[in-house]
Structure formats: structure tokens, C-alpha cells
């Protein structure tokens, strides 16, 4: 393993733990790029459906994903707080967020060849610099050297309640028990697939969010980020300590880093 990448924050966790909402807000607060890897798996499912490819055909879906331009753009008022997703210029932001797409995507994400292609795209985006990146395998596979790794979770019941609210806001009216069942099924698929199953990296901080609001979680993540990116308490060069004591106030911002 190389040196920890101080300015990369990896957030993993099961379906409905609130990762994408808090990751996006955290990235906004810090001025970092937000990379929603789940959206890339969803976009690959969309590509397979659009091209009438069997959802088990890993080779064909991987080739399609590899040859397509999957773009993530910042959320705006048209996208209900979700990042906007485009494939070869066509916007698919809303289509990929339905309950059906969630269920199909858990299957696509189990295909090793698709993962290889998407992981490479994710690393390419992350190379641009400061980022918050969320998914299932970020701390374990995609960016094992991230400077801060968080495993965000909540009980299945809490996650089903959150998903119900979210879908209701999109005009869907799913039954709670059906959602709970779907959450448990997705957990099972995500945790038991052969390639890159969902698991907590040994050095990830676990945050159980059952009794926390979104803002509570974002605050806690900001605190963790500050803590993780503090300069070493015992610098080798004592004069460096003086410099740090005067210059270190807050998390470095993306702008500061580029200057
Ligand atoms: O928002 P939600 O947690 O429901 O799902 P998502 O993050 O959009 O991810 C959709 C699906 O993609 C998940 O059920 C996973 O099966 C898969 N996924 C993955 O395998 N690896 C990732 N890094 C991100 C998502």
C-alpha cells in the first residue's frame, strides 16, 4: 500500500444508508468533487437495457460501459439533490433511480468484468484530486489508500423507512414491507457476491446513523475529516510545527490546493 491519500474520503455502506446524500453535502461543504459510483453501476444497467443485452452478459455490458461516456455532473434543482447522470450526452438522472433499477443494478454489480471497467473509470475521476467517493468497495478495492474511510450504516428498518420517503418524493408509492424485503435482498447480494463484496475496510470508521439526521451525519464526517487530516502532532522538523500552528486552520479546500 502507498501513502494515504489525504484528500480522498471514501464512504461505503449498504443500500439506503444515506451515503449519496451525505457524501454530496460533505463534498459541497469542502469544495471537493463528489463521485457517486453507484450511479455508474446504474448507468451500466441502463445501457444494458437500452441495448437489449442480457443482464447476465458481463462481457457485453463491460464492453458497452467501457465504450460509453458516463458523466456525473453536480446536482441542481432539476435533479432532487441527486447528481445528474449522462450517458453519451443523454441525461438519465431520473430513470436510473427507480426501485426496479436499484434491484437490477445489484445483479449487474456482481459481474466482475463490469466492475473492472467501472473501477478504472472511478480511479481516473479520483485522480483529478480532492474527492468524496461513495460506494460498496471504495475503501477495500477502489481506493484502499484513501486518507479517511467511513462505513456508513443503519438498521434495515431505518433504511427502508428512508427509501420509502425518497421514493414517495419521486411519486412512487412502495409498500414498507416490500421495501424492507428488497433492502434485505440487496444486502444479501451486495455482501455475498464473489467479486468485491460489501464489507467494512479494517481501517474504516463505522458510523451507525439510525438516530442521526442528515446534517448530524455530515457534521460528524466533517469532524472525522478534520481529525484525519490534522498534521502529524509530532513533526520531524520542529520549525514545521510553528508553520503548521499558524497556517493550519481548517481542512484544506480544493481551491487552496490548486494554488
Ligand atoms: O443508493 P443506493 O445505496 O440504493 O445504491 P447505489 O449506491 O446507487 O448503488 C446501486 C447498486 O450498485 C448497489 O446495490 C450495489 O449493488 C452496486 N454498487 C456496487 O456494487 N459498488 C459500488 N461501488 C457502488 C454501487
Q: What is the CATH number of the domain that holds 195?
A: 3.40.50.300
Position 117 confidence tier, pLDDT thresholds 50, 70, 90:
very high
Tell me the average pLDDT across 49-62. Answer: 98
Residue 19 Cα to ligand 1 middle (Å): 10
Does residue 222 lie in a domain region? no
Higher pLDDT, 3 or 98: 98
CA of 5 to the centre of ligand 1 (A): 23
Bridge partners, 132 (sequence order): 9, 34
Query: Is residue 247 very low, low, confident or very high in pLDDT (cuts 50, 70, 90)?
Result: very low
Name every protein residue with a CB atom under 6 angstroms from any ligand 1 atom. 15-16, 19-20, 37-38, 41-42, 102, 105-106, 109, 135-137, 186, 190
What confidence tens digit (pLDDT) does each residue in 7-36 have?
A: 899 999 998 898 999 999 999 999 999 999
Structural domain boundaries enclosing 18: 5-216+232-258
Residue nearest to atom 10 of ligand 1 (CA): 38
The answer to whether residue 136 is domain-embedded is yes
224 assigned to some structural domain: no
Provide the pLDDT confidence category of residue 241 given band limits of 50, 70 and 90.
very low
225 part of a folded domain: no
pLDDT tens-digit series, residues 133-168: 999 999 999 999 999 999 999 999 999 999 898 888
Lowest model confidence (mean pLDDT) among 84-98, 124-138, 219-233: 219-233
Say yes or no to pLDDT of 259 above 50. no
What is the arithmetic mean of pLDDT over 40-67?
A: 98
Mean pLDDT, residues 71-87 taken together: 90
Residue 129 lies in a domain: yes
Ligand 1 atom at shortest distance from the alpha carbon of 196: 20
Report pLDDT for 38.
96
Say if 142 falls within a structural domain.
yes
Number of domains observed in the structure of the chain: 1
Q: Is residue 221 part of a domain?
A: no
Residue 109, pLDDT above cutoff 80: yes
Quick check: is 51 in a domain? yes
| CA distance readout (Å), 175 to 105, 172, 179 | 20, 10, 6
Instruction: In whole angstroms, give the CA distance from residue 48 to residue 26.
Output: 32
pLDDT at 118 > cutoff 70: yes
- What confidence tier does 49 reach under pLDDT thresholds 50, 70, 90? very high
The per-residue pLDDT for 246 is 36
Amino acid at each position: 500500500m502507498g501513502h494515504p491519500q489525504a484528500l480522498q474520503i471514501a464512504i461505503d455502506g449498504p443500500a439506503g444508508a444515506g451515503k449519496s446524500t451525505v457524501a454530496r453535502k460533505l463534498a459541497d461543504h469542502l469544495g471537493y468533487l463528489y463521485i457517486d459510483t453507484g450511479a455508474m453501476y446504474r448507468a451500466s444497467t441502463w445501457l444494458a437495457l437500452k441495448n437489449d443485452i442480457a443482464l447476465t452478459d458481463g462481457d457485453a455490458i463491460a464492453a458497452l460501459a467501457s465504450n460509453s461516456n458516463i458523466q456525473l455532473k453536480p446536482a441542481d434543482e432539476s435533479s432532487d439533490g441527486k447528481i445528474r447522470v449522462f450517458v453519451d450526452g443523454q441525461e438519465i438522472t431520473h430513470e436510473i433511480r427507480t426501485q426496479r433499477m436499484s434491484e437490477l443494478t445489484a445483479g449487474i454489480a456482481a459481474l466482475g468484468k463490469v466492475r473492472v471497467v467501472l473501477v478504472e473509470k472511478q480511479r481516473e475521476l479520483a485522480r483529478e484530486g480532492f474527492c468524496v467517493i461513495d460506494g460498496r468497495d471504495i475503501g477495500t478495492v477502489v481506493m484502499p489508500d484513501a486518507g479517511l474511510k467511513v462505513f456508513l450504516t443503519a438498521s434495515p428498518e431505518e433504511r427502508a423507512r428512508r427509501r420509502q420517503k425518497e421514493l414517495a418524493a419521486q411519486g412512487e408509492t412502495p409498500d414498507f414491507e416490500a421495501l424492507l424485503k428488497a433492502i434485505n435482498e440487496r444486502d444479501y447480494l451486495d455482501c455475498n457476491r464473489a467479486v468485491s463484496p460489501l464489507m467494512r475496510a479494517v481501517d474504516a470508521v463505522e458510523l451507525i446513523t439510525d438516530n442521526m439526521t442528515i446534517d448530524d451525519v455530515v457534521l460528524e464526517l466533517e469532524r472525522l475529516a478534520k481529525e484525519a487530516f490534522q498534521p502529524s502532532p509530532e513533526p520531524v522538523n520542529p520549525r514545521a510545527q510553528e508553520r503548521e500552528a499558524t497556517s493550519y486552520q481548517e481542512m484544506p479546500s480544493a481551491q487552496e490546493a490548486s494554488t
